[in-house]
Structure 1
Amino acid sequence: MNEFWESNFKEKGEMWGEQPCKSAQLANQFFIENKLNKILVPGIGYGRNAKLFQDNRMHVTGIEISPTAIGIAKRFLDDNTVIYEGSVDHMPFDHDSYDAIYSHALLHLLDEPHRKNFIKACYDQLKSKGFMLFTTISQNALSYRKGEQVGENRFEIHKGAPIYFYDNDSLMVDFKPYGLIDITEIQEDHPMYLVKCQKP
């Protein structure tokens, strides 16, 4: 996975442009309304979504597997931003607790054991009453069932980056133990789910 993303960021740079995605805009508004300030962003990429949070005076910490993406992020994020280089498999990278965790389009890139470990690792770093928001691709996406099938509802469309396609039932299984409060269908480049959880 790290080779796939490092190669893509080297070749394509700011491949999704400079503007934050829709879910980041929704998350940003939610964070403002709930006065959430300390945000962890696993899979921060080159920082286009995290910049929106910083622009609204939130303190952002990131995790990113690609050194090239981290280098690009310096153009978007302030000099005080901490970005840990490494895989989310190795969380936690610090001993801090966070008001909120936002992860966009990362979860579906992991296999089942790593998805479960990632969700738990995020939950464990939340403060009491903290929130975590994930986006993940839906089975309503046109790419569902394309490419080589490598597992249940998991397909390798691009070599080196298999994708797991969620439905409502599989989201309930993965997130119900972690304070699931809402599942919303949203349209990004693909149909996706925005999943929201809160720690007691």
Structure 2
Amino acid sequence: MSQYWSQRFAREGMIWGSRPSPSAGWAKQRFMEDGASSVLVPGAGYGRNTKVFAPEFTVYGIELSEAALELAAEWDPGTTFIAGSALQPQLVHPVDAVYCYDVLHLFLADDRRRLIDACLEQVRSGGLLYFTSFSDEDPNYGCGTELEPGTYEYKADKYAHFFSDGDLRGHFAGNEILETGSFTESLKNPQGGTHEYILRYILARKK
């Protein structure tokens, strides 16, 4: 998977443009209301969403792709980017909040657990976690070969897990679930076209 994304970032640059996801703004507001001062963004890419948080928080972005990190250093100099896997803890000191955009659904069950556990290890007790992921209401749900329950290879060599509300809540069992919901994300590709897909989000507090 890391090779796939490295090749895409190297070939296409800022794949999803410069406009952040609206969910980054929503998460930022909730983090500010909670008094957070530091935020971790696993799978930060080229900094499209980290830049939303950088003016108000100390922000750390974890990213495996060297091509994405090079773009991120120019696009968002206000964030500290760390080269490494989001499946492993990378920080020495815990942060107040985690914002994880569209990373969780990229993995099979064991690695989804590793991602969440790594995030929980890097956020303080009582800290917030805001995750977005593919929804089982998205048209791609059920397409292609089912690799695991809810996980489909919906395009050649590309798979994702599609979450129901209950499934997403279950992944964060043991934490306080503050809010869940869904929204439609609209992204413009480098060719100028627009792609829409349905996401779920969850806001949880580490116990």
Same fold (TM over 0.5): yes
Q: Deviations over 1:143-199 (max 9, x none)?
A: 111233222111113444310001012112211223322211122131111111102
Partner residue, 2:53: 53
Check whether the contact 1:4–1:160 (CA below 8 A) recurs between aligned residues.
no
Q: Return the alpha-carbon distance in structure 1 between the equivalents of residues 57 and 24 of structure 2.
A: 13
> Secondary structure at 1:136's aligned position in 2?
strand
Residue matched to 1:194: 201
Q: Distance in 2 between matches of 1:125 and 1:3?
A: 26
Residue from 147, 160, 171 that aligns with 1:174: 171
Structure 1 counterpart of 2:193 = none
User: Which has the larger helix fraction?
Assistant: 1
Please list, as runs of the form range in 1=range in 2, the aligned pairs for 1:1-200 lying within 5 A after superposition: 1-55=1-55, 57-78=56-77, 81-89=79-87, 91-188=88-185, 189-200=196-207
Q: How many residues align?
A: 197
- The 3 A distance-change label for structure 1 pair 5 and 46 is same
Stretches of 4+ aligned residues off by more than 4 angstroms? none
Q: Please state whether the residue corresponding to 1:176 is helix, strand or coil.
A: coil
Structure 2: gaps (5+ residues): 186-195
Q: Per-residue deviation at 1:5?
A: 0.5
Q: SS at the partner of 2:49?
A: helix
- Once the 2 structures are TM-superposed, how far is the Cα of residue 51 of structure 1 from its aligned partner? 0.3
Identity %: 30
1:48 Cα deviation from its structure 2 partner? 1.0
C-alpha RMSD over aligned residues = 1.4
Q: CA deviation at 1:99?
A: 0.5
- Alignment gaps of 5+ in structure 1: none
1:10 alignment partner AA:
A
